[in-house]
Amino acid sequence: MKKLHLLILAILTLSVNSEAQNFKSANLDSLMNGLEQNNKFNGSLAFSHQGRVLYKKAIGFSDIEAGVKVSTKTKYWIGSITKMFNATLVFKAIEENKLDLNQRIDTNPVLDDLI
């Protein structure tokens, strides 16, 4: 699972072209289609920036036994593991001087440059 998270993070990094400031959804589509074809992921992925949805896709099943597929409107129970994942990413950005621990994230110009 750790390898999958790293792969997704790598693809996401490649999906953002900072020069043109365009979100490359084709990279994410390629990743998501590969995961779907190999039955390696069940869930939804969505990205938005400044209130605009840049990308959304759902693959897999919400109930495998019943054969119920997920959709972009499927609601999920999110467990505590997401807190650790988000904290790790935030502190990695702090370590790379992309964020300041005392700075509000919604005013960070680095985020505006990413998308």
Cβ count within 10 A of residue 115 = 17
Joined together, the tokens standing for residue 25 give 């959804």
CA atoms of 48 and 72, how far apart (whole Å): 14
CA atoms of 36 and 21, how far apart (whole Å): 28
Over residues 6-47, the pLDDT tens digits come to 556 555 554 444 433 566 778 888 888 888 898 888 888 888
Joined together, the tokens standing for residue 112 give 């505006």
Over residues 47-85, the pLDDT tens digits come to 887 788 888 899 999 888 998 999 988 887 767 777 888
pTM over 0.75: no
Task: Say which residues have a Cβ less than 8 Å from residue 29's Cβ, sequence separation at least 6.
Answer: 57
Domain positions in the chain are 1-76, 78-115
CA atoms of 35 and 20, how far apart (whole Å): 28
